[in-house]
Amino acid sequence: YQKKQILEWQRDDYRSMNALLQELDNYIFDNLTLQSSMLKKKVTSSDESAVTVTALSTAPNVTNQIKVNQIATVTTWVSKDAITVQGPDPFDPDANLDQFTFTTGEGNYSFGGQFTLKLDVTLPDGTSKSGVTVTVDPSQDSLNDVIAKINQTTDLNVSVFYDGTAKKVVFSSNKTGSNASIKLASDAEDNALNFFKALGFTGATKGGEIALDGAGRTNGQDASFELNGYTMTKKENTFTINSITYTLKKADPSATISITTSTDVDAMFNVIKGFVDKYNEIIGKINAKISEQRYRDYPPLTDEQKEEMTEKQIELWEEKAKSGLLRNDSILSSGLSQMRLDIFSKVSGTNINSNYDILSEIGITTSSNYLENGKLIIDETKLREAIETDPNAVFQLFNANGSDFDTKGIAQRLRSTIKETIGKIEQKAGKTIWTNQQFAIGRDLDDLNEQISRFEDRLQQIEDRYWRQFTAMEQAIQRANEQSMYLMNAFFGGSQ
């Protein structure tokens, strides 16, 4: 049982080391290997109320001048006439449509049976959808129900609402820019045309816009701006040029706005410093585990021993019993040695700047105190200077995607070593979802369980044998006593 307990503790220690290595690997993957984390850009706008800017990591460091002549707007279609009804009055947009008779200058309209709105739409960018349908059931649907159906029909790309004060319906394109259109299909039902007329779109025709220019239709406009003196137009207010995304918020042709992009030195510095801190933390914990003192005079306690001790005594005893189970472990020791080699070996290749091809050249070195087991030390000034001078070279130092050890970046090397070390530990100690037969310690535990089972069977057999012997002895004693009593009775009886 003590051997089994030691193996279980050792298995758990190995798995805790794997969790530490996985933690380091996750940090490297989530931070060091991503351009979005390492090569961030710092962007500024001299007037963020007019123009805001973001930049991808690939954006150049530039200063641009922009003037906003006009911002992009959406096209709107508003019913020319207010909705009027004969009864019941006033019009209730939440009541079923078949309750009302709508009145316009062109006549009266009422709706009883189900019909379908069939629309053709064109977006400002020229894409179009023909024959988009919305089903209307006047006995079940109110005006607000129909509006909800139209808003939920994504192919239409429009937003609709009812203005209860003016008693008008407003359509607007979901996309900014000029030349958007909403037309009734040329083969639309008569009730579809009558429905739009009843809502006040009296200029609607089959095959034509639901509202005409100047009679309810306000055409959207494109964004117009000058970038470094060059006039450009865009359908939307947000657009990307040279990996820099601009968002226009207001027009003011008299104002010149400065846009500046630069390397976010703090972002890369913090990622690298975070890596150094995480690396030092992880190797510190692993080194502490493989250098723990082993106390062989403190085997695991039996249940009987625990019953005679206090909780504090048990805690102190087991602290020593668990200590040193991974002392000088070859898998962990070789993994740490390889990681040190990964970090401080030179990186070569066509994408590597020779001025920054080793970690010490960006200000990261090993502690001179050998007791710290390869702890990394940062020269913050030197690291910031390297980032400011050539951030891409610093990124490549960590992430060069080479075909062999020499041409792989430091992060790539470390992840390979961590993966290999984790694999070896799993072969030794497995993981929670594995069965015992899939790893070495598990197989040893199964062997011990079989030994324990066999010993228990032997103990049971011995116990049974002793009981049989004891019973036989008891029976023999009883027979001897009976014979003795008989003889005594016979003897004393004869003397009388």
Are residues 314 and 306 in contact, defined by beta-carbon separation less than 8 angstroms? yes
Handedness of CA 227, 233, 238, 241 (dihedral sign): negative
Q: What is the DSSP pairing of strand 212-213 with strand 101-104?
A: unpaired
How far apart, in Å, are the Cα atoms of 268 and each of 22, 33, 187, 194, 278?
22, 11, 61, 63, 15
**Distance in angstroms (rounded) separating the CA atoms of residues 411 and 26:** 11
**Distance in angstroms (rounded) separating the CA atoms of residues 52 and 244:** 10
**Distance in angstroms (rounded) separating the CA atoms of residues 137 and 145:** 10
- Distance, first Cα to last Cα, the chain: 67
pLDDT at 44: 94
**Distance in angstroms (rounded) separating the CA atoms of residues 396 and 39:** 11
List the alpha helices (DSSP H) in 84-199: 143-152, 190-198
What is the spatial order of strands in the sheet that 244-248 belongs to?
51-55, 244-248, 238-241
Are residues 46 and 258 in contact, defined by beta-carbon separation less than 8 angstroms? yes
Contacting residues for 35 by C-beta, under 8 A, at least 6 apart: 57, 58, 395
pLDDT at 89: 80
pLDDT at 496: 47
Are residues 401 and 413 in contact, defined by beta-carbon separation less than 8 angstroms? no
Give burial (CB, 10 Å; 0-12/13-18/19+) of 182. Answer: buried
Report which secondary-structure segment, H or E, holds 134: strand 128-136
Report the candidate in 225, 179, 194 with the shortest Cα–Cα distance to residue 64. Answer: 225
Are residues 211 and 183 in contact, defined by beta-carbon separation less than 8 angstroms? no
Q: For tokens 């040029």, what's the residue?
A: 241
**Distance in angstroms (rounded) separating the CA atoms of residues 270 and 77:** 52
Directed axis angle between helix 2-27 and helix 440-495, to 10°? 160
The tokens describing 152, both together, are 């939920």
DSSP one-letter code for 29: I
**Whether the predicted model's global pTM rises above the 0.75 cut:** no
Peptide bond into 60 cis (omega under 30): no
List the alpha helices (DSSP H) in 377-434: 380-389, 391-399, 410-429
Handedness of CA 229, 232, 238, 239 (dihedral sign): negative
**∠ Cα 491 493 495 (to 5°):** 70
Q: Digits of tens for pLDDT over the chain (496 positions)? A: 899 999 999 999 999 999 999 999 999 999 999 888 899 899 999 999 999 999 988 888 899 999 999 999 999 999 999 999 987 888 999 999 999 999 988 889 999 899 999 999 999 999 999 999 999 999 999 999 999 999 999 999 999 999 999 999 999 999 999 999 999 999 999 999 999 999 999 999 999 999 988 789 999 999 999 999 999 999 999 999 999 999 999 999 999 999 999 999 999 999 999 999 999 999 999 999 999 999 999 999 998 999 999 999 999 999 999 999 999 999 999 999 999 999 999 999 988 999 999 999 999 999 888 888 889 999 999 999 999 999 999 999 999 998 999 999 999 999 999 999 999 999 999 999 999 999 999 999 999 999 999 999 999 999 999 999 999 999 999 999 888 888 888 877 654 4
Cα 440 to chain centroid, rounded: 34
What stretches of 223-271 adopt beta strand conformation (E)? 223-227, 230-234, 238-241, 244-248, 257-263
